[in-house]
Chains A and B, each alone.
Chain A
Amino acid sequence: MKILVCISNVPDTTTKIKFAEGNTSIDTTGIQWVINPWDELSLTRALELKDDATSGVKSVTVIHVGPAASEPTIRKALAIGADDAIRVDAISSDAWFVAAQIAEVVKKEQFDVIMCGIESSDYNGSIVGGMISEFLGIPSVSAVSSLKFENGQPLMVREIDGGKEIVTVPVPFVAVVQKGIAKEPRIAAMRGIMMARSKPVKLVEPVAIDPLTEVVEFEKPTPRAACKFVDADNPSQLLDLLQNEAKVI
């Protein structure tokens, strides 16, 4: 069984987001780029499955759609333990474009499981995984918080509103993963970092696809009013504000 883990490159989650070029793009100066937190967990789970001889998982490949500048993110994934990587050499203009590129790669190279994070922490789109599955005409399971294999059959827990379902689908399939898929992201060890240097990164030319969406402007969230402090000994004052000013209780 071969797993493909889709990874996206995002600003570190503590980054103070600033805009550039008349608010049409993000100011990238000084930004620390990291693997999208969900993708890091998804990679971790894929590697755990590979470590478990009974799972039947033989290899873990990561794929990224992005320019050469995002190579360090790919190396990091290899250092964490992925066997090899594929980079589609293109600027990832929107979810449609990225999903179409990944689907093209999967059409040529066989993978049994394609794992995607439930959202990227930059565009918060939650769409790439589902799109890949539909481009390929294969099943997808969304909001997956657990993935394992029993006799070659995938067993997943998916979160539904107000509960959980244990589901299975035939391979190949796309698993869109979320909290719970792995406990802590795996960290690269020194040996992994050394080994990553010699692991193969296959470069793929993009296919011609027009994006369907475009961000034309960014804005900051509406600033909130300054905090009103209430005396700790007099919480009824807080309730008064919540009832009569905010009108929320």
Chain B
Amino acid sequence: MSVLVFTENWDGKFKKLSFELVSYASGVGKMLNLSVTAVSIGKVDEGELMKLGNYGANKIISVNNEKLAVLDNQAYANVISEISKKENASVIIISNNNTGKAIAPRLSVHLRAGVGSGVSKLPLSLNPFTVYKRTYSGNAFAHLVIKSDVKILTLAQNSFDVVETPGNATIENLNPEVDGTLLKTVVKDIHKQSGKILLTDADIVVSGGRGMKSPDNWPPLVELATLLGAATACSRPVSDEGWRPHEEHTGQTGKIIAPNLYIAVGISGATQHLAGISSSKFIVAINNDKDAPIFEAAQYGIVGDAMKVLPKLVEAVKEIRK
């Protein structure tokens, strides 16, 4: 038996998320005394694949088939399901990102495997197999027992530390039969966001709310983000008003993120906003209302006018970065 982990790539490269997944799989593997097999689909060179070995993958299956160039949920689930059976996988680990959400449930039906989605810790117990997962949009966590023989866990992004475990991984190249009739997704056009730190990948996020008053007031917030190597985000009314792009909307109905540091500027801290950011390791709030609920979620706060605080903060960062 084995623990299987699906590691997506982005233009042939892995990122922190991939190493988190393999570190997590390795942790589960240790608990169960099983080896870890990573599955990669698409063109990834050997050097890149070998990186997965540094985080605990014992075997890396590299699937190369032109037919899988486009993400077709059905075809991908099929391929991963076949590999899971061949590898006799008892636990399958996938990211809880968009790709993971597209594949995990289909795979679940293939393998009659219960899914624990959005897990953020190693399993709490093996017998019964119990995982810790976010529920009620972060207002509660559940101990979920998975009763099926095969289990699928989708890991919440940025919830598990990357752990290096030096070892030797072997690479197996695989060109599986892909049932052409399953390839039904046709991509007509692609728009890539380039040169920007992705909100879901960012370690630091600087976010603005309605308290920023006008889209014209964003430059110091963006400058702060740039200086800190951070991504920018916003509350829902801000994206609804068109002050900032929709991709930046965080919260219940936007992106759910878990950066190491979230700086909320002029955001009141409504439950629906907190639903998207409450897993951040540290929250800083800047708000002119000392009673704003965001201060209950924050570890550090400044009560003050954002228009005055932001420029000072920018200067202070420049000072320490000298």
- Residues of A whose CB lies within 8 Å of any CB of B are 11, 13-17, 19, 26, 37-38, 41, 94-96, 99, 118, 121-131, 133-135, 137, 139-143, 155, 158-170, 173, 176, 179-180, 183, 211-221, 224-225, 227-233, 235-236, 238-239, 241-243, 246, 248-249
Assess whether A142 is in contact with B313, with CB atoms less than 8 Å apart: no
List chain A residues, Cβ under 8 A from B143. Answer: 215-219
Q: Which residue of A lies closest to B101 (CB)?
A: A126
- Chain A residues with CB under 8 Å of B296's CB are 227
Chain B residues whose CB sits within 8 angstroms of the CB of A96 once the complex forms: 108, 114-115
Could you list which residues of chain B lie within 8 angstroms of chain A, going by C-beta atoms? 8, 10, 71-74, 77, 96-99, 101-106, 108-110, 112-118, 128, 130, 133-148, 154, 184-193, 198, 200, 203-204, 228, 240, 246, 249, 252-254, 260-261, 270-272, 275, 278, 281-285, 295-305, 308-309, 312-313, 316-317, 319-320
Contacts of B77 in A (CB 8 A): 134
Q: Which residues of chain A are within 8 angstroms of B272 by Cβ–Cβ distance?
A: 13-14
- With A167-B188, A213-B146 given, is the CB distance from A125 to B253 under 8 Å? no
- Which residue of B73, B116, B135, B189 is within 8 Å of A218 (Cβ)? B135
Cross-chain contact A133 with B313 (CB below 8 angstroms)? no
Say yes or no: A159-B98 contact (C-beta < 8 A), given A17-B139, A218-B135, A243-B320.
yes
Assess A135 versus B109: contact at CB under 8 Å? Given A13-B275, A215-B142: yes
Query: Chain B nearest CB: distance from A171 CB in Å?
Result: 10
The smallest beta-carbon distance between B309 and chain A, in angstroms, is: 6
Chain B residues near A215: list those with CB within 8 A.
135, 142-145
Complex interface: chain B residues within 8 A of A95 (CB): 105, 115
The 10 A-B residue pairs with the shortest CB-CB distance, nearest first, are A130-B105, A232-B304, A212-B114, A142-B102, A134-B109, A163-B192, A127-B105, A134-B106, A217-B143, A166-B189
Q: Which residues of A contact B71 (CB under 8 A)?
A: 160
Is A248 touching B281 in the complex (CB atoms < 8 A)?
yes
A124 to B270, CA, bound (A): 19
CB distance from A243 to the nearest CB of B (A): 7
Q: How far does the alpha carbon of A212 sit from the alpha carbon of B112 in the complex, in Å?
A: 8
Instruction: Say which residue of A141, A232, A249 sits within 8 Å of B185 (CB atoms).
Output: A141
- Please give the distance in Å from A202's CB to the nearest CB on chain B: 25
- Chain B residues with Cβ under 8 A from A121's Cβ? 136-137, 252, 275
- A153 CB, min distance to chain B CBs, angstroms: 10
CA distance A220 to B154 in the complex (A): 21
Across the interface, which residues of B come within 8 angstroms of A242, CB to CB? Answer: 261, 282, 284, 300
A241 to chain B, nearest CB (A): 6
Asked whether A224 and B299 contact (CB < 8 A) given A124-B118, A212-B114, the answer is: yes
Q: Which B residues are CB-close (under 8 A) to A19?
A: 140
How far, in Å, is B107 (CB) from chain A's closest CB? 8
Interchain CB contact (< 8 A) of B144 among A173, A180, A214, A224: A214
Chain A CB count within 10 A is highest, among B103, B106, B308, B317, for B106
Chain A residues within 8 Å of B97, by CB: 161
Distance A130 CA – B133 CA, assembled complex (angstroms): 19
CA distance A219 to B96 in the complex (A): 21
| Residue in A167, A235, A246 whose beta carbon sits within 8 Å of that of B313 in the complex | A235
Interchain CB contact (< 8 A) of B98 among A99, A123, A143, A230:
A143
Docked-complex contact A180 and B246, CB < 8 angstroms: yes
Residues of chain B with a CB closer than 8 A to A26's CB: 136, 140
17 contacts between A and B (CB under 8 A): A17-B140, A26-B136, A41-B253, A125-B115, A125-B117, A128-B105, A130-B101, A133-B73, A134-B110, A139-B184, A211-B147, A212-B113, A213-B144, A239-B313, A242-B282, A242-B300, A248-B260
Residues on the B chain within 8 Å of A212, using CB: 108, 112-115, 146-148
* Chain B residues positioned under 8 Å from A15 (CB to CB): 136, 139
Assess the B198–A139 pair: CB atoms within 8 A: no
Are A168 and B188 in contact, with the CB atoms below 8 A? yes
Chain B residues whose CB sits within 8 angstroms of the CB of A159 once the complex forms: 98
Given A13-B275, A218-B135, check contact A213 B114 (CB 8 Å).
yes
**How far, in whole Å, are A116 and B125 apart by their CA atoms in the complex?**
32
Q: Which residues of B contact A246 (CB under 8 A)?
A: 261, 281-282, 299-300
B74:A139 contact, CB within 8 angstroms: yes
Instruction: Report chain B residues within 8 Å CB of A118.
Output: 101
Is the pair A238, B10 in contact by a Cβ cutoff of 8 Å?
no
Note all chain A residues with C-beta closer than 8 A to B154: 126
Pick the residue among B110, B139, B191, B200 that contacts A161 (CB under 8 A): B200
| B301 in complex: contacting residue of A17, A130, A211, A230, CB < 8 Å | A230
Knowing A140-B106, A235-B309, A239-B316, the reply to whether A213 touches B186 (Cβ < 8 A) is: no
The reply to whether A216 and B145 contact each other, CB–CB distance below 8 Å, is yes
A229 touching B299 by the CB < 8 A rule?
A: no
Q: Contact between B303 and A229 (Cβ–Cβ < 8 Å)?
A: yes
